[in-house]
Structures are given as structure tokens and as C-alpha cells.
Chain A
């Protein structure tokens, strides 16, 4: 390997002051150049925290262990000026709500070229680049003069994506980029992200709560629960043959067009309270397979037999591997 991965997170542990347990506990993940990796989890699972960590955006008072390498450079130990350079150039982020990302009183053109102009690029050159990128995301230059309130949510999300590409990033962090959009617009934005990733060789970390969407767009999927990665592997494997009961339950509780009708198999209970310490597996309290071992010993991530890239942190993943088809949809 000559080029470093766009993002490499090794054993990231994040503790907040006064918390009983780390909000992120041993997170490992790698996004190669031009690769799409999905981070799936429910609210409070730590998926957004992980992606923000790649920008060095940590909550106040957070204590970290492990390493977060963007393009080979450790974000956690980088001095502020390096971090700023990193944020204006090599990493970019697309948030969930495009309306909240843009200043409603500034023209879209100002928003797009602001970073470049601040970095010393000639205004005319910045505008040229912005126009080119707008064309790449399927918009024309007339949008430059418009205010955010004058365009639709789907168009605005394209603007945000174009703005993210202004600095020619190696890594694009997309935090629920399509959650505020309807299904058709979602498909369009995803199509755009896929195309751009191919032409710009940008690594994409796609954070979402939607396992179906994650499986459909990404090369690899990491499933998070209560600050830990419980399962990771190639998208098709995780989706079709999950090895962790949480993944299985998540798939089963998603209302689908193809599943049989009637009641959904909801996961009983709720995620563990972050204020209480965890012994054993975080999912044990809601898991149909849980035994005393699960409640006492936290499971280590283990490789699935015959599937070298597929890992799951479950004491019973062997059982699921055998009868997975039964529990699955």
C-alpha cells in the first residue's frame, strides 16, 4: 500500500466527564480511497460522534484514546492550525439538514466560494471552480445568485455536496445526508454521491440509521450499538447473513415492501442508558439469545468462519451463522 487510507480509526475510545462508561468504546474502521463505508446505528449509538471525530470535532471535555488518521495524519494529536488546514481541504462533511447548514441571508455563491477565498484563491477562480462543481452535481450557474430559501431541499443538498468538494477532499463524511429528503430525491442524491466518489476518488463515510440504504450504497457496513461496533463486513454479507442478533433484529423491524404483512418484530426495550456502566454485551438486555455469559463478559469481535472480512462481536454468532436464515427476514 503506497497511499494511506482516507480514514483509519484504530481503537477509538471516547469518555465524557461524568459518564459512567465511554460513549465510544474501541471503534475500528477504515475507509480506503474511493471506497464507501457505511456506519449504521440508532440515535445515541455513537455513529455521529465517530464521524465528527474524523474532523477533530469532539464534545467539550472529551478524553480520547486510540488514533484517528485522516490521509495518514492523526487528527487527535494535530495542533489547531494543522486541524484547520485539514478541515478546509482534505476532509469535508455533509450534514442531515441542508437548510441548517447554509446561512439564509447569504447567496449560495458566497457560501460555495467562502472557504476558497479565505484560503487565498482569486474570487474569479473560486467562482469558476464553484460553477464547475455545480455542473458536476447537476445544477447550473444560475444557482450561484440564488438565496437558500429560493431552492428546494434536494437542490440545497447538492449545493452542500458541491461545497464539500471545493477543497478537493480525500474523505467525505456524510451524516444522514438524505434523511430530510423524500425517497426519490434521496435516490438522486445517492446517485450523485456514487458518481462523484468514482470520478474524484473520494473516500466516503456514510452515516445512517437505515440499514437497507447502507447495504444498497456501500462497500462495507459497520453496525454500531451503544458506542461499540457490533458487526462489520461486506454490505451484502451483513445484510443477507447477519452474525449479530442486533443486526438481525434491526433488519426484522424495518417495515419493507417485500416482507410479509402484519406485525413487525420490534426489538423490545431501549438502548442502555449512557449513565449506567455496562457489564458484558451491551445488547444482552434486549437479546433473545442472551445467556449469563453475555451479561458478564463483553464479547470480542471475531471473524466469521469462511468469511474473512466479516466480523461480529457476539458470543452466539456461530449459532446465528447456522440458523441465520431462520431469524432473518
Chain B
């Protein structure tokens, strides 16, 4: 296989260490735990994440508030649990959007070739050249608050990673005689693509998307730290770091550090899982 997954240099180094079977299992377990927490958050959160108890502001861990209270008097644990929802939903939207559009664009470019290929390849390169965060900030500043705008913007920013990979994979797959065999049999190009080519390349593309998920989570957390995207009262990890800044200055770091740790761990977990998946697919590869 000639296609190579796109990985950012810094994180990839950490995650592809050998003997990673334990690390891999831990990563999968952690990712599963975060997803589960996000799903069950409304039922397991001990407090209303927006209930303000100014009297207990900046209190340390106690029986009532196991992870303490932030500067506005809100329970940190509850905010972390409910924050997992927005923090995971955003990247999920980015990944779904970029995967669907990227696969469609990459497949069309590879299959039709010619001018369409040139057009699609050049326009994705254009997006590549433009920093994703900057694009997102631009869109948010035009569109105003809300999760949708940054998700769409990052979806577009991540599209080239998927479409370029898909294009290479489809080109390789298309050269295989079985595709010619289906053409000779009278199947239409669309049928061959949907029923045979895409299922054969899916594992590699999905592995890339899993890796993208981690990066999108980081980008979105960064955006909400800057106060862009998520509306002020919504519990969100990036937002929590932003809100916790003043508490850190006053010597109460817990409410800001915990979401930070969660963002980092979740990104690493998804990266490890995605990298392992990609490595396994690459090794199996018929």
C-alpha cells in the first residue's frame, strides 16, 4: 500500500512505541470510559452543572463535591461529566463531516480523473494551505456563537486529509483486476465504488478518521478556550480551562487542570487507538 496516513509529528512519536499492547488496551479503555461518561452524564452527575453555590466557591474536594468547586461556585465533577458531551460531540461532527465529504471528493477525483481530479486536488490543497484554526475563528466571528459554525469550519479543514488518502487508496484499488472484472460484468461505476471499492478501503480511512478525532477535539477545546464557539454557560472542557484561569491565579488549580488533563488523555487515547488500528490494517493488507 502506497498510501500513508497523515499524522502530526509530535504526537505520533509518543503513541507508536513498541510493546504497546498494554498501552493500547489502556487507551481503548479510557476512550470507552469517556464515551460512557458522556452518555450517562445527566444521570450520574451529582449536581446541576450550572447550579451556583457562591458560598462554596473555590472549595477543595469534599464529600459533597468530590473534585471541588470552581470560582463561580459550580461543581467541577458535574461540569466535567456534562462537558464530555459537548467536548466529544464537536469532534464527532467534525469527523463525520470530513469523512463523508472527503471520501466522496477523493473517490470522485480518483475515479473520474482528468479535470475533475485536478479541480478537487487543487482545491483541497488550497484548504491545506489555510490553517484550520484560523478558518474556524474566521467562520465563528462571522457566524457568531454556537457549536455548529466551528464544527463545519473544522470539518472543511480536515477534509483534505481524508480526501487525499481516499484518492490514493481508490487509485490503487481501481488498478486491481477485480474492479475491471466488475466493469466487464456490466456493473456501473457507482455500484462498484459503493459495494466493493469503499468497503475495501474503509478500514484505512476510518483509522485516519479516528486519529483526526483526537486532533479535532484538541482544536475545538482550543477554540472554546479562546471563548469562541461554545456559549458561555454550556459545560465544556475548553471553556472550563478558560473559566478556571482566575482560580489558578488565586492558587486553586483543580477546576482548570482537570479538564486540561482530560483533553490530553482523550486525545492521546484516540490517537493510540487509531494508530494501532492503522498499523494493523497496514500489516494485514491482504
**A–B: direct contact at CB < 8 Å:** no
